Amino acid sequence: MGRDMVVFKGTRNGLVIVLDPSREYEDIRNNLLKKMESAKGFFKGAKFSFFNGQQDIPANQKNELENICRQFGLVPNAVEDQAVLSTNFPAVSKRQAPCTTKAVPSLGEAAFMVKRSLRSGQRVNYPGHVVVLGDIHPGAEVVSGGNVLVLGNCRGLVHAGAGGDRSAKVIALRLAPTVICIADRRHAPDRDKQEPGPRLARLSGQEIVFEEYHSGR
């Protein structure tokens, strides 16, 4: 098993949908449909484009994939050529091995900033990264397509990588959520056993693990 065949990346221009060109088209189409169905309207209203390194997708296939996205309320992005990612997938044959990723210097990525604490019953839903300048109280929810950074206590429900990004992380000054989800994995930790200090949660295989956070990671 390699990387996900369909990955959603949040950018300042909306969602960029990255497809693994080494996989069969039918598998990609079915995986995209499955992820859209499991998102349950999470991406509704978001602008989207396919990663512009994949312009060689046959027109009929690209139209079908775009129509799947439209069915779930996504809007095609008119500024597709402005989307920038740190991976490059040139056109390859079906039998070719996927290319290696290549880092591209970047000044950072856009994020949605919540300039307050979130109380019980309040919910933030955003297709990119989310930064909370306060606490997430029990009963509050943050659902993010990217990473979640909490500059306070995280004691509610938090879901990072909601579109299937398994590299997403949750970082908080005190990480003691009632429920934490990353991509398709869900965990309800024992909050009384959570250690103090800045903590990070990430996926390790199929498990969500907690560890001490170090800046520059």
pLDDT tens string 31-74: 888 888 877 677 778 888 887 554 567 888 888 999 999 998 88
Boundary (domain end) residue, out of 31, 61, 82: 82
Provide the whole-model pTM. 0.58
Is 192 found in the same domain as 117? yes
As a whole number of angstroms, the distance between CA 62 and CA 5 comes to 15
The 3-state DSSP class for residue 173 equals: strand
3-state DSSP of 72-134: CCCEECCCHHHCCCCCCCCCCCCCCCCCCCCCCCCCCCCEEEECCCECCCCEEEECCEEEECC
Domain enclosing residue 201, as ranges: 111-212
Is 33 found in the same domain as 77? yes
Using the structure block, give the residue that is written with the tokens 């591209």.
104
Nearest to 132 by CA among 109, 156, 116: 116
Query: For the chain, how many structural domains are there in total?
Result: 2
Find the CATH number of the domain harbouring 70. 3.30.750
pLDDT tens string 157-179: 999 999 889 999 999 999 999 99
